[in-house]
A and B are shown apart, each in its own frame.
Chain A
Amino acid sequence: MMTLMIKRISNLALVGIVTLGLVTISCDKILQVSNPNSLTEDDVTSPASAEGVKNGLLNSLMVGTGWAYASTTTISDEIYWTGSYESYKTYNEGRIAFASNEITVAGFPNISRARYMADLAIANIAEFDANNELTDRSILAKVYLYSALVRITIADSYDNFVYSNKRETSSAIGEGNMSQVYDEAIDHATSALTVAQALGDQTLEAQAYGLRARAKHAKAVWTKLNPSGTTPADPIVTGSGASADANAALALMSVDYKAKFDYQSASLSNYLANQVNSRGEISLLPETTATSDGVTYEGIEDPKTGNLDPRFEDIRNDFLDTSTYTENYSPITWLSWREMHLIIAEEFIGVDDVQARSHMNTVRSEDGLPDVVIGDDLTLFIEHERRANLYLQGRRLNDMYRFGSVSPAWLGGEDAITTPGTLLPIPSNELLANPDL
């Protein structure tokens, strides 16, 4: 009797397991699973995602800038190699066109992502705006601003570049056509300006003017350096139209205004800061002197005082201030009142030296430095002022090329010496994966 009962219970258990299992697996919904980890393509075409797309662009821009500057500042005399990556060593020695340089390879996808995000953001958000679906038009202005900045960074850093779209590859822009990227930056800054003015947002307006000034000035520098291979006889930029924008920007900026990338945000680190402060792969110029791998580096001194330049010192110390920023989040300045003055000053050199000196001295007086006076070499001083005030802002390498300055680490047979003007190449990971190259 007991056995029979156990058997019945057991049979019921078996049938129960089989039935439960089979009913479960035959359910229509069983193969449908959810993905709460990310958004789909449809989601980003919704107006509700405009803010998220803009912020994603800003994230990509900040990350991409950190990578681009890690390359170009190490090639320049702003930073020197102290660690394990020979890729920084080859930069340091002036080998730039090597398409398999690890940092070039790793940096390109980051700035490319920023470019893709810029185009996606402009396409989507401009359409939302056209359809009156955009609740906050400052989003559109910022998207144009960030896109302009992406393009300035690309054109300042790369000899050649590619705009592809997902799997649809494109051919390269071409070394001779890279000034077009500055033109795009100028266009986008103009679009930002239009929206900012319509909104009456003076901060955005100042930034739009400032970025357009930067783009115009940088394009003029590019024109002096291309085709690459020689140091221009006259390094001074004039007549670019940058001064007017810089003046307009200054009219809207407070004294010593700086627009910075604030990396102090979760999951958003500054690669350049990481390499300097955390890994120690590369080091900022010393306050006095330092030697690495047989090369001696010196801090930037003011030509007038012969002392360490306080502008360089401030930027350096701020970047190294790990107690404020920890090691990965040092800020990068992308627009400043100082740069606007220096753009204007440069355009006045040889045209109106009084004005040129005046704008330089306005900047120098902020830190109590003696004035530049009649008889001073304004070319030397404009290079120095830019070097000291725009330290770690990605301008130095092109300035070195046009002013004929060389890094103590550059080797005679390497690109920086043999072909002045050489910037980052399209890297091997893009060459490998893009059939149009």
Chain B
Amino acid sequence: MKRAIHTFLVCFIMLISNAVMAQNGVLKGTVMDMNDETIPGVTIIIQLEAKTLGAITNGDGEYTLNNVPSGVPLEVTARSVGYRSETSNIQLNAGEELVLDFTLAQSTLNLEELVVTGTGAAVERQSVGHTISSVKFDDVASATTNNVQDALLGKVSGVSINGQSGAVDQEPKIRIRGTSSLSMSNQPLIYVDGVRVNGNGGFAPGVGSPIGAPSGLGNINFDSIERVEILKGPAAATLYGSQANSGVIQIFTKQGSRESAPQFDIELSNEFIQMPNRYDSNTGFVENATEQQNVSDVLGLNVDLYEPFESPIQLIDLYGLGMGQDISGSVQGGGKGMTYFANVRYTHTDGPFDPSPSVFNGGAVGNANDLYKKLFYTGNLNLYPTDDFNIKVQTSYTNASTSIYESGITIYTPTSTARYAKPEQVGQVSEFDTFGSPFFATPREGTYPEITDDSNTGRFVVQATYLPSDEVSIDASMGLDYRDQRSRRFARFQYNVDGVAPTGDGSVSIGTRQQMVWTFESKLNWTKNFTEDVKSTFVTGVQSSKDLVNSSSGSGQNFSGPGLEVLGATATQTASSGFSEIVNLGMFVQEQIDYKDFLYVTGGLRLDASSAFGDDFNYAAYPKVSVSFLPTDAFGFEIPSVSTFRVRAALGQSGQQPGAFDRFTTYSPVNSPEGAGLVPGNLGNQDLKPEVATEWELGFELGFLQDRLGVEATYWDRIVKDALIDRTYAPSGGFTSPQLTNVGELVGRGLELSVNADVIQKRGLQVNVFANAAYLYEQVSSLGGAPPIKIDATYIRDRMFIKEGYAPASYFGTRLPAGVEFPFDTNQDGVPDSQAQLEAYFANPVNPSSFNSAVMVAGADGQALTGGSSYLDHYLGKPTPDWEGSFGFVASLPKNFTVSTRFQFAAGNYYHHNLTRAFRRVNSGIGRNFMQSTQLEAILKNPASTTQQRIDAGKEWVNEILALSPFDGLNEIEKADYIRWSNLSISYNVPKTVLTKIGVKSASITASGNNLALWSKYKGVDPLATGEASTGRGASLQENFGGGMDTYGTPLLRTYSLALKFGF
């Protein structure tokens, strides 16, 4: 590998030493749409061999191209996402200034747009055989959006973005074409302007709340983003090498345009945030006079013994209407030799969590909240000293401050305590316990612990491009992406105000993380027209990155007095620190042959070395090949109404590498009363190598009626070999942590369909309807002889497994025997109890807690097992839907109004683990507190019930309520199909006549609502809700699949926004 790179360097530097110059006239003009509205951001291009003369229209739709060669025929093309490209032929005289205007019609396919991600150089999308999606955020819905993950929701077929919780800023779970790795990260690589950035968020080590983990993408300034390109898998992402299994998202920031006056844009927006009330109401019944009196005193309800009632105090009462403000100012423009863009933006969001003393009978509440403050800065400067050379300096900085209340699977949070509260137990521990939570903590106590995160993140990039000749371009970039982060969880002295919560004298945990990702990339692009019909584009380059992480954490319990917040003031303390360094080194080469602009054949190869591969592993090689073909252009025929027809195919590989130290057998430091010690750490595996994904895809684009109707379809097929699995070896071997092992094979295939139609295109009225859907099939085809692997090896309630022949993380658990009306066997004779036996058992009041030793479950073959047996291995479904997609429309209405809406859906063999409801159904300590469960328990325990009433209640209990250990999985895995009304936006653009009077160039007002409604078979709060969200901490089975469990998850938030935009 090293010898190859040295040889490559020599050639590379020799090529740099050649320099050629050129010169000439001026071309300028305006680009309009069919409504005679100017279009900003349109790319105007003149292609001269490798060299591209280009300009971008400013806010007035104007462009200027200097030094256009004279005396030669030239093709000038105007391109913009969402419009059909237009090309004009010109020839300038020396010194001439030519005005060339364009009018662009809307298009649904955009095959001529330029793309750069994974292609080595800027090329037309039609020349690329793999799928590459480009998204611009100039639509109505994006006007009120705050971050890139929300803006991408439902936009691209096969790209699933899951918000996971009701936190305002949550690390999203992004999946492109499903699961591409079992134990390595499935989050796509994130690039910004060609430089790799750390896209993961989360808290610093030592502060471990998965819910509310701040998003890494959310720290990228959305107002600086021009567009996003997405590569969906190995076939497309080969040039990104050993970490690109899961696709690549590249963000392009705004750069300004040459020779345009400064354009200022101001945006003000307000957001109202609501927690959807999809929570089951808390219910209960009293069993004695004390409870009866407490319910009367605290809740004001007079109830009879065993009379089910609904509490007037519910979890939703902890929420109010959250509000957010966003103010942003940008300037962009350029001179003859430079362009610039700068933006400063500030957001302040106070989420809906708003507990009030009135909910707690006047008891004081804590300071936990959901408050976010972010300051963004982006500054880009592009210098063009000559036509042959440019240098770009790009800087960004984000200061983010997050404060979030605790939620999720942890048992002490207000959102969990409020849901396992039992209303009949109100007032037992304190007059302020209006929920009835004598275990773990009261919801009021849950309002005290605060989790905060303060981070400074940023990026500094220097890029240079040099064109030694019309055929050759060389560019190089160096980038630094950094993060400096401090997280803290703090519960103040005597925060257990109701006397229930543990560590009542308070605690504090502090974590810090400094991370720096250095990248270097350089490539050479050589374009050559071999003949008039055959054009070659050759790209080669090197890419390297170095990821350094330094972290430390400490925690302490029990402050010595009030007002203390520091670690040193606690009675017991722990501390730890860690360091990680990963170095990747790769080179790539690619050749594309363009035959007559209707056949494009591309071949490429990526070689990778990494510090993680080990001494015995030299490098990984990832090849790719793709073909793009336009049959109508090739054979000169026309299909009626068909304006565009392309077929394409691609085959490629990429990989995922293990972590920096995964191959070593290690012993980790621990403490003991006799001093520092060592215990088994990482089991180690010297044979560890990257897993390799091979993907092929086949697709077509069809455009009808001048591309007013576009249909796009892609079938893809992927196999991941040497799949890295976090395998838990037999714990009896002493090494109890999972060890990455290349043992598996994972297959996936899918179909991506999208239809986009401009159904009405009239002046003043345009309506575009769209729909996309992605089918996903995935299966663990081999574990290489390894036994099934449990996602969470020790948490028995987690029923997800990696098992041969099943989709990743499929659910397995208990089922009841089919055809047995009441599988109850009190005498354990293997025969369901007779009526007489049931009457004997249920003759007196009975606590359903005692059913366990009588319940008959289904055995391996479905047969009824003897009462008291257990069997946990029935397949119960998978956590990913067969189909996912979105549909909606955008309508430009008369009077300058625009309306758009979008629905998202997921369906087909799709299940979610509703562990929350399982607890609430059956657990005697922290459940049986929603109406069906309460009613049945009341009947069973009520001395006034008849024997038959108890038998019937017992039957319903066993068949519908029973869950949890030792029946894990039973009645817990629920269908999760859904349709979500994800967005409705209405925008009004102030007419130019009015704008002229007030002296601004543009002004608009946009109102939008997000997550407006949800229709689902899922009985929990949201089929996307989980208590175990992605934490942004990289790779593990839990990180990848933990979201399949809804353990006190909160539903995605509903928001209403109003945005004002001014341009001048």
In the complex, the chain A residue whose C-beta lies closest to that of B21 is A7
Minimum-distance CB pairs A-B, first 3: A116-B734, A55-B677, A413-B853
Q: Are B966 and A55 in contact, CB atoms less than 8 angstroms apart?
A: no
| A200 on interface, CB distance cutoff 8 Å | no
Q: Are B870 and A98 in contact, CB atoms less than 8 angstroms apart?
A: yes
Q: How large is the interface on A (under 10, 10 to 19, 20 to 34, 35 or more residues)?
A: 35 or more
Q: Which of A11-19, A220-228, A336-344 contacts B (4 or more CB under 8 A)?
A: A11-19
In the complex, the chain B residue whose C-beta lies closest to that of A429 is B793
| B300 on interface, CB distance cutoff 8 Å | no
Cα A142 to Cα B677 with chains together (Å): 14
Q: Are A100 and B669 in contact, CB atoms less than 8 angstroms apart?
A: no
The distance from the CB of B269 to the nearest CB of chain A, in whole angstroms, is 39
The distance from the CB of A207 to the nearest CB of chain B, in whole angstroms, is 13
Cα A279 to Cα B672 with chains together (Å): 23
| B667 on interface, CB distance cutoff 8 Å | yes
Name A30-78 residues within 8 Å CB distance of B.
Answer: 30-41, 43-44, 49, 51-60, 62
| A256 on interface, CB distance cutoff 8 Å | no
Cα A433 to Cα B965 with chains together (Å): 21
Q: Are A90 and B966 in contact, CB atoms less than 8 angstroms apart?
A: yes
| A182 on interface, CB distance cutoff 8 Å | no
Q: Are A24 and B678 in contact, CB atoms less than 8 angstroms apart?
A: no
Which residues of the other chain, B, contact A280 by a CB distance below 8 angstroms? Answer: 439-440, 502
Which residues of the other chain, A, contact B581 by a CB distance below 8 angstroms? Answer: 33-34
The 18 sampled A-B contact pairs (Cβ below 8 Å) are A14-B466, A15-B13, A37-B661, A40-B664, A55-B671, A55-B676, A86-B965, A90-B852, A100-B965, A102-B797, A113-B736, A117-B679, A162-B730, A166-B683, A167-B730, A169-B730, A170-B732, A413-B868
In the complex, the chain B residue whose C-beta lies closest to that of A106 is B794
Q: Are B385 and A18 in contact, CB atoms less than 8 angstroms apart?
A: no
The distance from the CB of A359 to the nearest CB of chain B, in whole angstroms, is 30
Q: Are A109 and B966 in contact, CB atoms less than 8 angstroms apart?
A: no
Q: How large is the interface on B (under 10, 10 to 19, 20 to 34, 35 or more residues)?
A: 35 or more
The distance from the CB of B74 to the nearest CB of chain A, in whole angstroms, is 24
Which residues of the other chain, A, contact B391 by a CB distance below 8 angstroms? Answer: 10, 13-14
Q: Are B732 and A25 in contact, CB atoms less than 8 angstroms apart?
A: no
Name A252-266 residues within 8 Å CB distance of B.
Answer: 261-262, 264-266
Q: Are B677 and A279 in contact, CB atoms less than 8 angstroms apart?
A: no
The distance from the CB of B957 to the nearest CB of chain A, in whole angstroms, is 15
Cα A24 to Cα B9 with chains together (Å): 12
Contacting A35 at CB < 8 Å: which of B520, B666, B852?
B666
| A278 on interface, CB distance cutoff 8 Å | yes
In the complex, the chain A residue whose C-beta lies closest to that of B521 is A21
CB-CB under 8 A for A54 and B677, given A105-B794, A106-B794, A433-B728: yes
Cα A164 to Cα B733 with chains together (Å): 4
| A412 on interface, CB distance cutoff 8 Å | yes
| B575 on interface, CB distance cutoff 8 Å | yes
Name B923-969 residues within 8 Å CB distance of A.
Answer: 923-926, 964-966, 968
Cα A161 to Cα B732 with chains together (Å): 8
| A22 on interface, CB distance cutoff 8 Å | yes
| B609 on interface, CB distance cutoff 8 Å | yes
The distance from the CB of A209 to the nearest CB of chain B, in whole angstroms, is 21
The distance from the CB of A214 to the nearest CB of chain B, in whole angstroms, is 20
| A26 on interface, CB distance cutoff 8 Å | yes
Cα A428 to Cα B792 with chains together (Å): 13
Contacting A21 at CB < 8 Å: which of B439, B476, B735?
B476
The distance from the CB of B293 to the nearest CB of chain A, in whole angstroms, is 18
Q: Are B681 and A38 in contact, CB atoms less than 8 angstroms apart?
A: yes
| A95 on interface, CB distance cutoff 8 Å | yes
Q: Are B6 and A38 in contact, CB atoms less than 8 angstroms apart?
A: no
Contacting A39 at CB < 8 Å: which of B19, B542, B678, B731?
B678
CB-CB under 8 A for A59 and B679, given A14-B389, A35-B664: yes
| B83 on interface, CB distance cutoff 8 Å | no
Which residues of the other chain, A, contact B386 by a CB distance below 8 angstroms? Answer: 3, 6-7, 10
| A101 on interface, CB distance cutoff 8 Å | yes
| A430 on interface, CB distance cutoff 8 Å | yes
In the complex, the chain B residue whose C-beta lies closest to that of A107 is B794
Q: Are B679 and A25 in contact, CB atoms less than 8 angstroms apart?
A: no
Q: Most A CB atoms within 10 A — which of B388, B476, B795?
A: B476
Which residues of the other chain, B, contact A414 by a CB distance below 8 angstroms? Answer: 852-853, 868
Q: Are A110 and B5 in contact, CB atoms less than 8 angstroms apart?
A: no
Which residues of the other chain, B, contact A413 by a CB distance below 8 angstroms? Answer: 826, 828, 853-854, 867-868
Which residues of the other chain, B, contact A11 by a CB distance below 8 angstroms? Answer: 19, 389, 466
Q: Are A35 and B672 in contact, CB atoms less than 8 angstroms apart?
A: no
- Residue-wise, chain B 865-888 has the 8 Å CB interface mask toward A (1 for contact) of 001101010000000000000000
| A131 on interface, CB distance cutoff 8 Å | no
Cα A131 to Cα B585 with chains together (Å): 46
Cα A326 to Cα B571 with chains together (Å): 8
CB-CB under 8 A for A58 and B730, given A90-B965, A326-B558, A413-B828: no
| B572 on interface, CB distance cutoff 8 Å | yes
Which residues of the other chain, B, contact A163 by a CB distance below 8 angstroms? Answer: 732
Q: Are B965 and A116 in contact, CB atoms less than 8 angstroms apart?
A: no
Q: Most B CB atoms within 10 A — which of A18, A53, A56?
A: A18
| B190 on interface, CB distance cutoff 8 Å | no
Contacting B503 at CB < 8 Å: which of A120, A162, A326?
A326
| A329 on interface, CB distance cutoff 8 Å | yes
Contacting A52 at CB < 8 Å: which of B611, B678, B732?
B678
Which residues of the other chain, A, contact B578 by a CB distance below 8 angstroms? Answer: 37
| B787 on interface, CB distance cutoff 8 Å | yes
The distance from the CB of A115 to the nearest CB of chain B, in whole angstroms, is 7
Name A298-333 residues within 8 Å CB distance of B.
Answer: 326-329
| B526 on interface, CB distance cutoff 8 Å | no
| B996 on interface, CB distance cutoff 8 Å | no
Q: Are B611 and A33 in contact, CB atoms less than 8 angstroms apart?
A: yes
- Residue-wise, chain B 767-793 has the 8 Å CB interface mask toward A (1 for contact) of 000000000000000000001101001
Q: Are A14 and B870 in contact, CB atoms less than 8 angstroms apart?
A: no
Q: Are A26 and B6 in contact, CB atoms less than 8 angstroms apart?
A: yes
The distance from the CB of B650 to the nearest CB of chain A, in whole angstroms, is 28
In the complex, the chain A residue whose C-beta lies closest to that of B587 is A25
Q: Are A59 and B677 in contact, CB atoms less than 8 angstroms apart?
A: yes
In the complex, the chain B residue whose C-beta lies closest to that of A29 is B583
Cα A11 to Cα B21 with chains together (Å): 13
Which residues of the other chain, B, contact A30 by a CB distance below 8 angstroms? Answer: 544, 583, 585
- Residue-wise, chain A 143-162 has the 8 Å CB interface mask toward B (1 for contact) of 00000000000000000011
Q: Are B572 and A326 in contact, CB atoms less than 8 angstroms apart?
A: yes
| A289 on interface, CB distance cutoff 8 Å | no
CB-CB under 8 A for A265 and B672, given A17-B464, A35-B660: yes
Q: Are B667 and A327 in contact, CB atoms less than 8 angstroms apart?
A: no
| B309 on interface, CB distance cutoff 8 Å | no
Which residues of the other chain, A, contact B678 by a CB distance below 8 angstroms? Answer: 39, 44, 49, 52-53, 55-56
Q: Are B609 and A31 in contact, CB atoms less than 8 angstroms apart?
A: yes
Which residues of the other chain, A, contact B919 by a CB distance below 8 angstroms? Answer: 84
Given contacts A14-B391, A41-B666, A412-B853, 16 further A-B contacts (CB under 8 A): A6-B385, A26-B6, A33-B583, A51-B677, A55-B675, A56-B678, A56-B679, A59-B677, A89-B924, A98-B870, A112-B734, A113-B736, A326-B503, A413-B853, A429-B731, A430-B731
Which residues of the other chain, A, contact B665 by a CB distance below 8 angstroms? Answer: 40-41, 166
In the complex, the chain A residue whose C-beta lies closest to that of B673 is A262
| B462 on interface, CB distance cutoff 8 Å | yes
Contacting A429 at CB < 8 Å: which of B439, B790, B923?
B790
In the complex, the chain A residue whose C-beta lies closest to that of B9 is A22
Which residues of the other chain, B, contact A162 by a CB distance below 8 angstroms? Answer: 730, 732
| B174 on interface, CB distance cutoff 8 Å | no
CB-CB under 8 A for A95 and B795, given A30-B585, A265-B671: no
Which residues of the other chain, A, contact B611 by a CB distance below 8 angstroms? Answer: 31-33
Contacting A22 at CB < 8 Å: which of B542, B572, B676, B679?
B542
Q: Are A165 and B583 in contact, CB atoms less than 8 angstroms apart?
A: no
Which residues of the other chain, B, contact A35 by a CB distance below 8 angstroms? Answer: 579, 660-661, 664, 666
Q: Are A112 and B677 in contact, CB atoms less than 8 angstroms apart?
A: no
Name A106-138 residues within 8 Å CB distance of B.
Answer: 106, 108-110, 112-113, 115-117, 120
Cα A413 to Cα B503 with chains together (Å): 38
